[in-house]
A and B are shown apart, each in its own frame.
Chain A
């Protein structure tokens, strides 16, 4: 018995030792947390990055708010967020933060109608549906933009995200930009007080309900519409063009003159071929990386990773239904990354 105990202790010590050694060998590793929307893309990017450079990056998809909270508490190297930090909230952070755009996403309208006709919708129609002003599929407003399509006289059942989400933020930002009634009655936030409709958890929940319920309409990220084979509506953009969501039209939406810090809502941009409900997703880091005992190597590794993500990393976007950053946005991101410092000294 005694001998068994001793050998067990030795075995455990050896295990701990070898684990510690494996950890030591891994060298630099970076930790990030935040938005779930870009998580599949980041996972792919970081996997490639680890095999190319040996730098391990661990990203936890805990949601945008959680990611920003972790940045605030300085427990991660970077946060991921689908919505940018508002001016008023900057004071909550112990030091200056910067936003680096990582990819462009889009919210698409999916619906379930017999025969799966491809529909055209405008911002006014969508906001009227979600306000409860348009209640039947054969409403004259929908008929007017879809000549020749037989629409049933059944009730429209709107589906929304029950959890707070960047997807809801971008969708309601779009509705607020096209409809004054929406702006005054409901507004724009991560979660809002929906006048009508059914809530479902996560993109997958909304996609699931739409797939299961005839007469329903919902909004999801592009990838979820494609994975679930849902019919996607063509939308009218600010220039009056009918645009189908695709990685090209979504990238195009971001190809505009952006503010220097890239904090912009891409709803209804002036880009003529841009899809109107597009959005950026950001990596959020501290402007000065010398904090909490971080080494210069750690800071340097983070900056290198960010640089790689906005250049080489972009080619992994389209296959996963994310839109790559347009050239103009990459330029803006370069400027921001070049100005990240360590103790006041630039890292690039």
Chain B
């Protein structure tokens, strides 16, 4: 095989990926056109999702998606930051650091249906107890249960990125801090963390991207209600979970198209968070070289 042919085959494969991306986007846009024509931007603010009256508004699912993702982020941030700092700063033995990162990555490789099952058997009963104590109907499933499991699911992304950028903090400035009499804790909080803040921001965005689009576990745990959630104990739906549960048997063309529009929103939001996240990672890498 000569070089030219080899290159053609490779670039052909690369082109296929680009075409696939464009094809997915095109399908979503074309199929969601009827919804855009019917509602325009008011699709984003509509509070009703009613297949009987053919009214479709995305707001309950936008709120559901943002609520679960940000609560998950808040819950997981302290934990995954700590893990990242331990791995990046304190575990200097290559063996321990390696072992730890293997475990963290294992957490990322667990299929989400397993997280969902674990959530149903372990997290849901705990939340039920909490709801009984707080005087809410003890459904167990809902925004809170989904967010709790999501929080665990996104730890690996945040933690491994934090540890990576932590390792890149130059020894010279760390030694400088220690030489000036800083304790190790002061060095971490005063020097390292501010130094890697863009890396942390990128980690937040990447795990946010993961949380926004997570489907299986959330569908199993969120309670699948198309109503507007009004508290953290509410049952709800995210963009991904409502598409997963209703798409198969959508009767009317508008219902189907409205779901395509939800998928398009999800596609764009995940794409943007990932893009920005990667951009920040790239920038911080360039700056640290």
Contact residues of A with B, CB < 8 Å?
Answer: 62-66, 155, 157, 162-165, 186-201, 212-213, 215
Q: Which B232-273 residues have a C-beta within 8 angstroms of A?
A: 235, 245-246, 248-251
Asked if B181 is at the interface (CB within 8 A of a chain A CB), the reply is no
Are B251 and A201 in contact, with the CB atoms below 8 A?
no
Given A164-B250, A201-B245, check contact A193 B137 (CB 8 Å). Answer: no
Separation of A64 and B51 alpha carbons in the complex (Å): 16
Are A194 and B251 in contact, with the CB atoms below 8 A?
no
Separation of A127 and B48 alpha carbons in the complex (Å): 21
Q: What is the number of residues of chain B that contact chain A, defined by CB distance less than 8 Å?
A: 27
Separation of A190 and B249 alpha carbons in the complex (Å): 8
Asked if B35 is at the interface (CB within 8 A of a chain A CB), the reply is no
Are B225 and A163 in contact, with the CB atoms below 8 A?
no
Q: List 9 A-B contacts (CB under 8 A).
A: A64-B249, A65-B248, A157-B137, A157-B139, A165-B249, A187-B52, A194-B227, A195-B227, A198-B225
Q: Which chain B residue has the least Cβ–Cβ distance from A195?
A: B227
* Contact partners of A157 in chain B: CB under 8 A: 137-139
Asked if B32 is at the interface (CB within 8 A of a chain A CB), the reply is no
Asked if B53 is at the interface (CB within 8 A of a chain A CB), the reply is yes
Are B249 and A164 in contact, with the CB atoms below 8 A?
yes
* Contact partners of A155 in chain B: CB under 8 A: 137-138
* Contact partners of B246 in chain A: CB under 8 A: 162-164, 191
Smallest CB–CB gap between A71 and chain B, Å?
A: 15
* Contact partners of A200 in chain B: CB under 8 A: 224
Separation of A66 and B248 alpha carbons in the complex (Å): 7
Smallest CB–CB gap between B261 and chain A, Å?
A: 17
Separation of A163 and B248 alpha carbons in the complex (Å): 8
When each residue 123-151 of chain B gets 1 if its CB lies under 8 Å from chain A and 0 otherwise, what string results?
Answer: 00000100000000111110000000000
Separation of A213 and B129 alpha carbons in the complex (Å): 12
Are B248 and A193 in contact, with the CB atoms below 8 A?
no
Given A194-B226, A200-B224, check contact A163 B48 (CB 8 Å). Answer: no
Q: Which B7-63 residues have a C-beta within 8 angstroms of A?
A: 48-53
Q: Which chain B residue has the least Cβ–Cβ distance from A162?
A: B224
* Contact partners of A197 in chain B: CB under 8 A: 225, 235
Asked if B219 is at the interface (CB within 8 A of a chain A CB), the reply is yes
Q: Which chain A residue has the least Cβ–Cβ distance from B249?
A: A164
Smallest CB–CB gap between B100 and chain A, Å?
A: 36
* Contact partners of B141 in chain A: CB under 8 A: 198
Are B224 and A190 in contact, with the CB atoms below 8 A?
no
Are B49 and A193 in contact, with the CB atoms below 8 A?
yes
* Contact partners of A66 in chain B: CB under 8 A: 248-249
Smallest CB–CB gap between A5 and chain B, Å?
A: 18
* Contact partners of A189 in chain B: CB under 8 A: 51-52, 251
